[in-house]
Structure 1
Amino acid sequence: MAGHSKWANIKRQKAVVDAKKGKTFTQLSRAIIVAARSGVPDPALNFQLRTAIDKAKAASIPNDNIERAIAKGAGTFGTDSANFEAIRYEGYGPGGVAILIEALTDNRNRTAADLRAAFSKNGGNLGETGCVSWMFDQKGVCIVQGVVNEEQLLEASLEGGAESYEMTEDEMSEVFTEIGNLETLSQTLKDKGFKVTDAELRWVPSNSVEVTDPEQARSLFKLIDTLEGLDDVQNVTANFEVAEELMSLSIS
């Protein structure tokens, strides 16, 4: 879990840079479209949509873009007919690291071809459905910042139906729960005065591969960066752990 959390922290730091490139804008706009289409297009009544909008605002996406994405999802935006669907892909990275990719795409063939090329060029291979997903469990995760009293966080988490929590760094915590309980947990933590900056579904590895070789780590980071750079890709999760000193390779 520690390696996963360190990588999650790196991803959050990188998100700021990605947003400037417009990458995050594309991802979050698609997430809003799908959320609005899968439920009512009213964030007050649609937790998935509300969460997607909160993420978009945190990434400084203009309100006009957000409203346009909601309209596209609701089918009220002109003649736009793009039909995005959520698909999960699976594969192996360097050293046998298991990788799950969540995508939103309007063209399955294009996405599969792009992913296959990314894997083959970076020492991995795209696998069949089910080849690595058995090593992951999907959980709801609330990101809580400004935690100064861990005991109070524990009490609030238990009241909200959490399964576990983990302190990461800079007074930040990740609180885990069953996917169907995410909205309840998020609201309970907020009601108790905690600052919930994100609520998301995440694949959590049940086992991990330790990466100690710098070249292997560099290849792995490059593969994940390449995958995350694809417009169709929403999230990339892997089951590796690396030493702290190798994490710097992820931004080199």
Structure 2
Amino acid sequence: MKKIVLILLIMVGFTANSQTKSDLLKHYEAYYDQMRQQGDINGVISAITHLNILSPSKERNDTLAYIYTTDNQHLQALNTIGIEKNESDSDLAVQVKAISLKALNQPKRALEQFEILNKREPNPYLAYELADLKIQTGDNEGAAANIEYGIANAKEEMKYAFYERQQPYEVSLKAAFIHLKALVEFNQDQTNIDGALATIDEALKIDPNFNLASLSKQALQSRKEKQENKDPQATKQ
């Protein structure tokens, strides 16, 4: 009789626990929907975190990391899904790792993730990210190949956003590629500043308000003037 009572008590405990978990899931699902409607990012993060504890899900984890990334909480995003290169990751997880690693100034690690995305579905925007990161890591030949692809495939309506000014702005993606082309040309032959300047002028002809290209042009012109001052004969030649 005592054994039967004990079994019944255990069964009641399991049922109560199951009902509690089910109720909590419903509560946080409703809470998540409400936070989304209100546009409350912190509330959405809290709701998904609780749901993930109650019922772990890789898809939900990837979504949580993505939300952190869109809110510029890149360290939290990477703490959620890790930084390892994993070919079996979802597109969303790879995208989060790529964007967050780049934002945290980890170009080599970010490059690995962008390479995975590019293998899955190449496009001019990914080519730009690859070229930019390869320039940063010293792979000018690899960058040149991505730039060539980008210039050939960038459509007129495609834009790329830059943030070096207080107010972000967009320029033609093709102009952005041509600017990178100029940087590669200079890196490969630093004696031919005029060639790199001519290429930057091509980018500025497409998009005269391209601030970053203008800054690069100023830097190259300044370098050229210093070289000429050191070697006056170079000006005569």
Q: TM-score range by the shorter chain?
A: under 0.3
Q: Structure 1 or 2: larger strand share?
A: 1
Structure scoring higher RCO (CA < 8 A, sep ≥ 6) equals 1
Alignment TM-score, normalising by the size of structure 1 = 0.22
Alignment TM-score, normalising by the size of structure 2 = 0.23
Q: Structure 1 or 2: larger helix share?
A: 2
Larger radius of gyration: 2
